[in-house]
Amino acid sequence: MARVVVDVMLKPEILDPQGQAVQRALPRLGFEGVSDVRQGKRFELEVDGPVDDAALARIHELAESFLANTVIEDFTVKVEEVVEAGK
């Protein structure tokens, strides 16, 4: 089994008021020196079977058509090693 991670972010030119609200809260919490925050989404897909090129291509298609709206968002797809507990 493998995990495929899809990260979705608003395109850089689009205003992210949630990220701005987080950034403005940082000084109150004692975190200085962070000039910008942008908030995105992370999807973890547990995939049965091998993550070969064909599987990745399908996930890419899924991300492009559904997980992200490419009119307003960019996305990346990456495979993550799953370390199973007790092994």
Q: Which is nearer to other proteins, 1 or 14 (CB)?
A: 14
Q: Which is nearer to other proteins, 55 or 62 (CB)?
A: 62
Written as six digits, the tokens of 40 are 């995105």
SS3 helix, strand, coil % of the chain, rounded to 5?
A: 30, 30, 40
Return the number of other C-beta atoms located less than 10 Å from residue 62's C-beta.
16
Three-state SS at 8: strand
Q: Which is nearer to other proteins, 4 or 10 (CB)?
A: 10
Give me the 21-60 binding string for other proteins, x by CB under 8 A, dash otherwise. Answer: x---------------------------------------
Q: Give the residue from 77, 65, 85 showing the smallest Cα distance to 7.
A: 77
| 13 makes contact with other proteins (CB under 8 A) | yes
| 10 makes contact with other proteins (CB under 8 A) | yes
Binding residue for other proteins (CB under 8 A) from 71, 83, 84, 87? 71
Q: What amino acid occupies position 44? A: E
